[in-house]
Amino acid sequence: MYAFQGARNGLGLQHEFLWRQIREPLIVPLLRVAVFVCLGMSLMMLVERVYMGIVISYVKLFGRKPEKRYKWETIKDDVELGNSNYPMVLVQVPMYNEREVYQLSIGAACGLSWPSDRIIIQILDDSTDPTIKELVQVECRRWRSKGVNIKYEVRDNRNGYKAGALKEGMKHSYVKQCDYVAIFDADFQPEPDFLWRTIPFLVNNPDIGLVQARWKFVNADECLMTRMQEMSLNYHFTVEQEVGSSSYAFFGFNGTAGVWRISALNEAGGWKDRTTVEDMDLAVRASLKGWKFLYLSDLQVKNELPSTLKAFRYQQHRWSCGPANLFRKMVMEIVTNKKVSLWKKIYVVYSFFFVRKIVAHINTFVFYCIVLPATVMVPEVVVPKWGAVYIPSIITLLNAVGTPRSFHLLVFWILFENTMSLHRTKATIIGLLEASRVNEWIVTEKLGDAFKGKASGKGLKKLRFRIGDRIHMLELVVGFYLLLCGCYDLMYGKNHFFIFLYIQAFAFFIMAFGYVGTFVPNS
């Protein structure tokens, strides 16, 4: 017994001696460099948020509404010209196996108010399920019988996914007579006056190539995960899009709920499928041609947030990987462009791409989930309080501006964003290195009214209290790492940092086992 205990003590002393030998010459310098780099990235994020806060405050205080910055007049009837005085509008609705929402989307598109002979509804159906294709066709025929000019278009392959469908849709002969194209994803439901509020900006301002509306989330209260998404996206629409539109007449097209001038779309080179963010790709190329973009924050289009963890992860992979890959492909093209100003180039390269699409993802995970926890085991490396506490607190409070009703959920939002940052960082690196899964495109699952109908009889939505399709090993590993750091800090630390480490580890474990989002019954 004593021999065994002695051997164990000896092994422990050996490990401690080895750790000391490695820590001084290797771990400490590397960790100090990592802290320095992360603090630099944190400062970049802080300056970006403060700058946008100042601009958005100016916009709101001085009432820089779109109607004041651009010419806007309603399109008036002309006795001689008749309806030909109105521009021809194409409305594209791309869809793929959208059983739950196809009726809502087609109905909303066909319900748009515009002279019936000056609008074409184009349903671009890439569905692979024959039953769903038949249902969509029947719905199109039903609206056609009501006098709506609706076209049902299919293709024999899914090359290019959504970008390929939109590109193919623009090739039809009847599109040549159209001046503008409005695009709505399958879960989007524009109000009838959508075209009346957007088209006049394009008609009266020939330098505007795109008018983008804001998203309104119909299922934000479905579960805690959708509330977290609402907080992040509301900041994007309330601040980021508004600042880009007001200051530089540029922002990333959101891929839906927007109207393009077809001549601008064509001049930019049309739709390309080289990344999974074909919308952002088109926006950057059109901006480099000198076209201006306008964002209408008062015009909201209803849509659905992904409420299952599986759907949300696929969406976030695409939204993180795509921009990083596009940045890799276009950075030199942007820098060498002759048509846009130096300030606009700096904004697009540094602010729009580098800080928001790369630094924000990587720093959130590396600093708060890897480097900062590691410092508890290496006391020689000290992180200043302004970097560990003040900067993230300010950034978090600035983000809360977009969704004041969820201010009390800020702690949950921090934990959720830190946990998701692992997935986003991985996707960002895949995009930058153009590694495997760089062009992975999986359509975000929509539930429409199906889930509500199944849950209505029970009165309560069920959380996903079951292991998902698989255990997410990376989240599990990071969770154990944070737990280990927390235990070390509990035993040897003096600043109670273990409280945060334990809570964040628990958040990673919840995500690892899929205990997030809603549970969708099979029947």
Active-site residue set: 126, 279
CB 347 within 8 A of CB 51: no
Cα separation of 392 and 458, whole Å? 40
Helix and strand element counts for the chain (H, E): 21, 7
Cβ neighbours of residue 432 under 8 Å, at least 6 residues apart? 324, 325, 327, 328, 358
**463 Rama sector, left if φ>0, alpha if ψ -120 to 50, beta otherwise:** beta
Beta bridge partners of 123: 93, 152
| Angle of the 473-492 helix axis to the 498-512 helix axis, nearest 10 | 160
Cα separation of 489 and 285, whole Å? 50
Cα separation of 200 and 10, whole Å? 81
Largest CA distance in the chain: 107
Q: Closest by alpha carbon to 162, among 8, 51, 282? A: 282
∠ at Cα 185 (183, 188), nearest 5°?
Answer: 100
